Structure 1
Amino acid sequence: MRKLRLIFSILTVVFASLGLAKILSYDISLPLMFVSMILTFLVWSKECYDKGSKRDSYIFLGVAIFIAAITAFNIISNFSSKENNAGIQNGETVQMYSQEEINSAIDVIKKEFEKDWKGCTLKEIHYAGDKVSKEHQEFAERYNADEVIVLVSTFDVDESDGDGSLNPNSTYTDWNWILVRKNGGKWKHVDHGY
C-alpha cells in the first residue's frame, strides 16, 4: 500500500508541475492530476484508517491541503489564461497565410506586449486580412524582407499610461501591428500604431 500511495502522490505532483510549467495543457494535466490525487487520497485514507495512527492522519491532511492548493492555483491559472486568449481570432478569410503563420505572428506580439507594454492589457488581436497586408508591402522592402503581415488589436491602458505616450485609463481599438519576415523565417515586429 505504501508503494502505491507513493506512486500516486508522485504522479499528482508531476501532473501539477507539468500543468504549472505549461508543458502539458490544462485540459490534459488537470484531469490527470485529479485522478491521481483521488487515488492517492483513497489509498492513504485506507492506510490511515487501518492503522488508526494520528500522526499519519495529520500527514495525510497536510498533503491533502498542499495538493488542494496546487489544484486551486492550476484552476485559477487556467481561467486566467483562457480569459487572455478569448479575444484572439482571425479577421477574415485568408489566402496569403496559414493559421499557423498567423498564430506565430500573434505570439510575437503577445510576448512583446507582455514584456514591454507595462500598464496595458491586450484584449483582442487578430489578422487584419490579405488586403491590408498587401497595402503595407512597402515595409517588406524597407526592412529587406519579402512578406508583411498586419495584425489588429484592442488593448486597455491603466492609470499609469504605459510608457507615457498613451492616454491613461483608455482603450485603444484598431491598433495595427506590422511584422515582416524573409524566406518564411521568424516574424519581426517593425512598426505599430494607427
Structure 2
Amino acid sequence: MPYLVSKTSLPEVLMLEPKVFGDERGFFFESFNQRDFIGATGFDVDFVQDNHSRSEKGVLRGLHYQIRHPQGKLVRVVSGAVFDVAVDMRKTSANFGKWAGVELTAENKRMLWIPEGFAHGFLVLSDFADFLYKTTDYWYPEHERSICWNDPDIGIQWPLEDVPKLSVKDAAAGSFNLCEVFRN
C-alpha cells in the first residue's frame, strides 16, 4: 500500500503517510495517485483545484469552510512546518464542533485528508512554510465562511509562541455558536 493511513480524533479526517523511497541522492514518492487514494481511504473524490500558499512563522490562516460548494481538501507541506486543524461543522455529526490537529512538515511528508463539512486552518511553526492542497470543489468567495481561530466553544490548543498574525478577514471571523453549519 502506497499510503499508511491513520485516523485522527475525528474519524473522517485521515492522516496519510506516503511510501518514500530515498537514498544518498534524495527521495521520491507519489504525493497523489487517485486509485491508491481510494484504496487507502475509501473516498472516491475528484480534485478540481490545486492551491499553494507561503506564509511566515506565526501566521494563522483559518478557520475556513464553504457553506455551499463545500470543499474536501488533501493538504501537505513541502517546506517548513505547520500545525493543521480540522473542525467538524456537520450539525448532525456526533463530533459536531470538535477538532483534530496534526503537525505537517516537509520532513515527515504527511498529508491530511479533510472531507467536505469541516472547517480548516493552520498555524506556521517554522520560519516560513509552503503549504499545498488539492480541493474537491472550486473556491466561491460568496460561500466562504470563517470561524474565529480562538473560539472558546471549540477550544483549539494551538501551539502558539506569540499572538498569531491574521488576515483582516480572519481577524473579523465570527463565533462558532453563531456560524452557519452543515445540516446533513
Q: TM-score range by the shorter chain?
A: under 0.3
TM-score (norm 2): 0.25
TM-score (norm 1): 0.24
Higher fraction of strand: 2
**Higher RCO (Cα < 8 Å, 6 or more apart):** 2
